[in-house]
Amino acid sequence: MKEIMYNHNSIVIAVILFVLLVVAVEIGYRLGLRNQPRSDDEAKSHINALQASLLGVLALLLGFTFSLALQRFDSRSQAVVDEANAIGTTYLRTNLLPPAIQQESQRLMRNYLDVRAREGAVALSDESVRQALLDQAAQYQNALWHQAMLAAQEDKSPVTSGLYIQALNSMIDSFGSRNAALDRHVPEVVLYLLFISFILTWAIVGYAAGAAGHRPSRVAYLMLVLVVLVVFLIIDLDRPRRGVIEVDHSSLTSLQTAIDAGDYGDLQDGQ
């Protein structure tokens, strides 16, 4: 099912949530004034207990969702590093190939790395451009695998062509792992549940204040702002290629710079 919220700006979503929560507080406050118990302390205690319980549930949902978004962000960041390492290892092992195949394989590897670095700068919402780059990367993988088969036919030693084929297979696996990590994010139904819980909770906060005969305190509004900021961070973490917090692709770009400069092998030897 195509999700609606994922392609919208996280700032816009946070602002809309803030407005909805303020409106919920005001509506709850007016309802509390209208149904204000005059001398029933038990009724007021019940409302306060319900408010405290809802705030506890809200904190639990918020913590769970934030942890979910942070785990997915970490997995995306690690996937980029793993792919860069896999590409770097495969490029180094092209030196084990027969001379007739080595140069063509290294040219294909450089082009492949360039495509993967370019794809890392494309927003996930730009599906047509991203898909074109993914298709291009798949074509380079097929070409590299064809070169590996030629190398295996010419040199059957597991110490040379065998090691290269092993590295190439790991590189292709890392391609799939990184794409899968990008496509995994917090399910939209969880965000909807979270937003509904926010609105109901702050309506109860407003209702409790109205039942007590006063407007909600400034602390309640400060907590509201804090919750909206946390929600903004959750949504921003869940969108790895736009917003304030983005996945770092420096491992790919640094590898690309080293290979283009022709000193990547020297750097590895010196470590």
Give tens-digit pLDDT for 30-75.
888 887 665 566 666 767 777 778 888 888 888 888 888 888 889 9
Looking at 30-39, 110-119, 201-210, which range is the least confident one? Answer: 30-39
In a domain, 237, yes or no: yes
- pLDDT category of residue 85 using cuts at 50, 70 and 90: very high
Distances (CA, A) of 126 to 43, 64, 115, 117, 204: 54, 29, 16, 16, 41
Residue 69 lies in a domain: no
> Over 70: is that where the pLDDT of 265 sits?
no
- Split into its structural domains, the chain has a count of 1
pLDDT of residue 266: 42
Residue 247 lies in a domain: yes
Asked if pLDDT for residue 179 goes beyond 80, the answer is yes
Q: What percent of the chain has pLDDT over 90?
A: 27
Which has more confidence, 182 or 21? 21
The per-residue pLDDT for 132 is 92
Q: What angle do CA 187, 252, 269 make, to 5 degrees?
A: 140
As a whole number, mean pLDDT of residues 146-150 equals 90
Q: Is residue 215 part of a domain?
A: yes
For the ranges 126-135, 157-166, 213-222, which has the lowest average pLDDT? Answer: 157-166
pLDDT of the residue at 267:
37
User: What are the φ and ψ backbone dihedral angles of 137, each rounded to 5 degrees?
Assistant: -65, -40
Alpha helices in the chain (DSSP H): 10-34, 41-93, 99-119, 127-154, 161-183, 188-211, 218-237, 250-261, 264-269
Domain range for 203 is 5-41+80-269
**How far apart are the C-alpha atoms of 268 and 258, rounded to whole Å?**
10
Least-confidence region, from 29-43, 54-68, 183-197, 204-218 = 29-43
pLDDT bucket at 144, cuts 50 / 70 / 90? very high
Query: Residue 22: what pLDDT?
Result: 93
pLDDT value of residue 82: 94
In a domain, 53, yes or no: no
Average pLDDT estimate for 236-254: 82
User: Does a structural domain hold residue 118?
Assistant: yes
In a domain, 60, yes or no: no
Q: Could you tell me if residue 51 is inside a domain?
A: no
Q: Which residues, 6 or more positions from 108, have their beta carbon under 8 angstroms from its beta carbon? A: 140, 143, 144, 147
| Torsion sign over Cα 59, 62, 68, 71 | negative
pLDDT at 237: 86
The encoded tokens of residue 178 equal: 């990184």
Residue 27 has what pLDDT?
A: 93
Higher pLDDT, 195 or 266: 195
Instruction: Specify the pTM.
Output: 0.80
